[in-house]
Structure 1
Amino acid sequence: MTGDALDLVIFDCDGVLVDSERICVEVDAMIMADLGVEFTEAEILELFVGSSAEVCTAVVEERLGRRLEQDWQRRYEHLYDAAFADRLTAVDGVTQVLAGLTAPFCVASDGDHDGIRRSLRITALSDHFEDRIFSAADVPRGKPAPDLFLHAARSMGADPVRCAVVEDSAYGIRAAHAAGMRAFGYCGGLTPAARLEGPGTVVFDDMRDLPRLLAARDHTGA
């Protein structure tokens, strides 16, 4: 399996490594109802999936018309914990991809470290990443800012222009471009391809195709 001409492949976690997006959308809807605000599934998908905690909070506060208490999301963490423990699985094909990828790789997610490690542990992906786990908690700004991806590259000793980012959200794709990295948009989950498409982004719907796509980008230097 190829991809070794790259300095680093950076994977998002939710929706790319673990098949969590449907679960998250359902739990998000429950939380919004508890807060007394209504979002459709389409709005949750567009506004929340792949966003940082700061972006999410701002969207909810705008709809509510009031401020939320600090760390308001913590009181709902048990809902995600229970749903993930019961239903979370790895994205189809990703285990084989990780096992055969020869380029260095890591995970960089807007989730916190505990949440990322929990998801990797439940889906038996932990051994593929060990300590190569980066969180938005490590940087001043989450996605769509480039801070997280640049932090991951710096920590791994990689040149940003020789990094590839695998994302499933528009926020993540924007962050990859802002970091000067190659963007690969995975649309095999809930996010429609149209939300990921754009100049400089390779969109694909089968995770097993990723090594071939990485190799093609390496060969062209695009």
Structure 2
Amino acid sequence: MGKNQFKLVIFDCDGVLVDSERIVNRIFAETLTEAGFPITYAEVTQKFIGKSLKTCLEIIEESYNKPLPKNFVELCKEREIAALQQELQPVSGITEVLEQITLPKCVASNSSHRHIQLVLKLTGLLHKFDGNLYSANDVSRPKPFPDVYLYAAEQMKTNPEDCAVIEDSVPGVQAASAARMTVFGYIHHSDVSRQALRVRGFAIDGNRQDCDPLTPARLRAALFEAGAQIVFNDMRQLSQLL
């Protein structure tokens, strides 16, 4: 273990524990397009990475100036679950790392409890958190606000300053940093878009349609700018960093 004396490690879920974002983003783009809200996979990644479903739906309806079909969320979730059951894998190295980390652990995610439990069960990780799963649905505001991280620390009876957070998105890093926690930024995306640079000093025109993938160096800079103290790209390194 590293020299830091943390008392709790808090993991984001999608993109940190499970490699679900590419699957979910693909299904979201396909279902939106079929419903009359044409959008590409790259645009979904650009606009919505790290955001809660509620926030995503609000952005869509505002952007297209019309309401989504009443059954949209239900249909999207049905397709998402089917795809996750067929394709989902844990993030490379995370199973071993969770065994190595002896500190208390929990999950704090913008996703719903249903989604968190599903993806962790599908990847064999659910039992590693002893039911300590916290969702943005538990609090008033999702990431990038700090609420879910502060709630997780409170439930785990740990001071925020004693918590280490593992995050892969700018909104998530901003949330944990605002909670006064030590943030470890994890880079694993191959197609994270320019929108991930929406932090101070990295403003990008959100109306642009050219969703060029980020280089690892630019994403690293964005995560540092958002408040990460350490940025790493191999999950197997984590137990040595803590």
Q: Does 1:208 align with 2:236?
A: yes
C-alpha contact (below 8 Å) 2:163/2:181 kept by paired residues: yes
- Report the alpha carbon displacement of residue 49 of structure 1 after superposing the two structures with TM: 2.0
Residues 133-156 of structure 1 show CA distances to partners (whole Å, capped at 9, x for unaligned) of 111111111111111000000000
Residues 46-100 of structure 1 show CA distances to partners (whole Å, capped at 9, x for unaligned) of 3212211232122111221123467842331111100000010110000011001
Residues 136-185 of structure 1 show CA distances to partners (whole Å, capped at 9, x for unaligned) of 11111111111100000000011111111111111111111111111111
Which residue pairs with 2:198 in the alignment? none
C-alpha contact (below 8 Å) 2:174/2:226 kept by paired residues: no
Residues 9-56 of structure 1 show CA distances to partners (whole Å, capped at 9, x for unaligned) of 110111100011111121121122023223333332132122112321
How many Å separate the matches in 1 of 2:183 and 2:70? 33
Q: Does 1:73 align with 2:73?
A: yes
Q: Which segment drifts farther, 63-72 or 75-84?
A: 63-72
Give the residue type in structure 2 aligned to 1:99: E
> Which structure 2 segments of 5+ residues have no match?
193-213
How many Å separate the matches in 2 of 1:188 and 1:23? 15
1:168 to 1:61, Cα distance in 2 relative to 1, 3 A: same
Which residue pairs with 2:141 in the alignment? 141
C-alpha contact (below 8 Å) 1:13/1:116 kept by paired residues: yes
Q: Which segment drifts farther, 15-24 or 48-57?
A: 48-57
1:14 to 1:132, Cα distance in 2 relative to 1, 3 A: same
Counterpart mapping for 1:189-200 below 5 A:
189-190=189-190, 191=192, 192=214, 193=216, 194=219, 195-198=222-225, 200=227
How many Å separate the matches in 2 of 1:3 and 1:17? 24
Identity value in percent? 41
> Which structure 1 segments of 5+ residues have no match?
215-222
Give the residue type in structure 1 aligned to 2:39: F
Q: 3-state DSSP class of the match of 1:198?
A: helix
Counterpart mapping for 1:63-212 below 5 A:
63-68=63-68, 72-190=72-190, 191=192, 192=214, 193=216, 194=219, 195-198=222-225, 200-201=227-228, 202-212=230-240
Q: Which segment drifts farther, 70-79 or 142-151?
A: 70-79
1:111 to 1:70, Cα distance in 2 relative to 1, 3 A: farther
Q: Which segment drifts farther, 68-77 or 148-157?
A: 68-77
How many Å separate the matches in 2 of 1:104 and 1:4? 15
C-alpha contact (below 8 Å) 2:170/2:226 kept by paired residues: no
Residues 176-215 of structure 1 show CA distances to partners (whole Å, capped at 9, x for unaligned) of 111111111111134344242326412211001112222x
How many Å separate the matches in 2 of 1:66 and 1:163? 42
C-alpha contact (below 8 Å) 2:35/2:69 kept by paired residues: no
Give the residue type in structure 2 aligned to 1:157: K
C-alpha contact (below 8 Å) 2:113/2:134 kept by paired residues: yes
How many Å separate the matches in 2 of 1:47 and 1:95? 30
- Report the alpha carbon displacement of residue 128 of structure 1 after superposing the two structures with TM: 0.3
1:69 to 1:147, Cα distance in 2 relative to 1, 3 A: farther
| Paired positions, count | 214
